[in-house]
A = this chain, B = another copy of it.
Amino acid sequence: MGVTKSEIYTEEQNTLANQLKAIAHPARIAILQELIKANACICGDLVLELGLAQATISQHLKELKKVGLIQGTIEGVSVCYCIEPKAWAALQNELNKLFASYKVSNTCC
């Protein structure tokens, strides 16, 4: 026990949950905001911006990359990260669907 029973959910539910899990951490939200703000992509600058160790930042970047929300390009010695537009738009769309499906009503508790 203690493992999420992915089998009982739909593909969509699992994917959305995984992407949300990737965003659901203040450090990773901060990273995404920083990537968006800088437009051009930063990398080790994130270590300076946030107050976390280099190993920790690297790990958070890996999480975001794992679900496809960001991409990294090697530029000489350093690595440049930025938002992956397609995955970003897809997640936005999926969330829109979820939120749009709810209509406020008074037949509730």
Contacts and interface: CB of A to CB of B under 8 A. Distances in A.
A83 B107 contact: no
B33 A6 contact: no
Given A6-B26, A40-B108, 7 more contacts: A4-B25, A5-B51, A17-B26, A41-B108, A41-B109, A71-B109, A85-B104
For chain A, which range describes its interface: under 10, 10 to 19, 20 to 34, or 35 or more residues?
A: 35 or more
Given A17-B25, A109-B73, A33 B101 contact: yes
Contacts of A81: 109
A21 interface: yes
Contact of A30 (B9, B24, B37, B109): B9
Interface of A: 4-6, 8-9, 13-14, 16-17, 20-21, 23-30, 32-33, 36-37, 39-41, 50-52, 71-73, 75, 80-83, 85, 88, 92, 95, 98-99, 101-105, 107-109
Given A20-B20, A26-B13, A88-B99, A107 B40 contact: yes
Contacts of A8: 50-52
Contact of A102 (B14, B29, B36, B109): B36
